[in-house]
Amino acid sequence: MQNKGQKIVYTTVSIDKETGGLVEKICKRYSLKKSEVVKLAFRYLEKAHINPADAPESVKSELAKINKRQDDIIRFIRHYEEEKLNPMIRTSHTIAVRFDTVAGSLSEKVDLEIATSKENLLNVLKKLDEHFGKIAVVINNQSASLDKLYATIDNHSKTINNQTQTQQRNNQKLLKLIALYSELAVCGVMDGKRKENLRAEINDLINEK
């Protein structure tokens, strides 16, 4: 910046008519003087390290560069999906299928055991009923003991039912966890928000009592 007391030395540059018309057009557009336009233009060239002799890049070539970058990104995403995500999805699906098979077998086994236990209990009750029917006098004298026996059998049956319900809830919870982990595995690179929501849902399900 020139000091107020410093004398400014001006010089002149010859330009053709076409260039002069371009300078006047820029002056009118931005409300600048010709000297300001020239000074600002040269400062811009200097700061941007632009060679005025080089032809400017065309819009078409710049779009081609952008399209090439987009194609590179798409190829990278497809390669990542093929090499990383798809194997993870297939593995998760295999695990889910196996777990579903095992859970189904366990559920059938538990149901069978419950049915067998109930049948055994009924047989025991029938035998007890037949036995105590033959000695009705003894049963009447010991009614309190019989009530206690029936209460014990009923509590045992309730305990079995409660355990069955707990096992079924745990199986459903585990199936849901696998489904959430599978969905998390297939999330794309840009699905950051969805990943956070899935992780929060998984943590809530794990901490659920």
145 within a domain of the structure (yes/no): yes
| Confidence category of residue 57, pLDDT binned at 50, 70, 90 | low
**Same domain for 24 and 115:** no
DSSP state string for 130-197: HHHHHTHHHHHHTHHHHHHHHHHHHHHHHHHHHHHHHHHHHHHHHHHHHHHHHHHHT--TT-HHHHHH
| Contacts (Cβ under 8 Å, ≥6 apart) of 100 | 175
> What average pLDDT does the chain have?
76
Give me the mean pLDDT over the 59-65 stretch: 67
Please state the domain count of the chain.
2
* Segment 173-195 mean pLDDT: 72
Name the residue range of residue 32's domain: 17-47
What phi and psi values does residue 50 have, to the nearest 5 degrees?
-100, 130
pTM of the complete model? 0.30
Do 114 and 37 have their domain in common? no
Is 84 within a domain? no
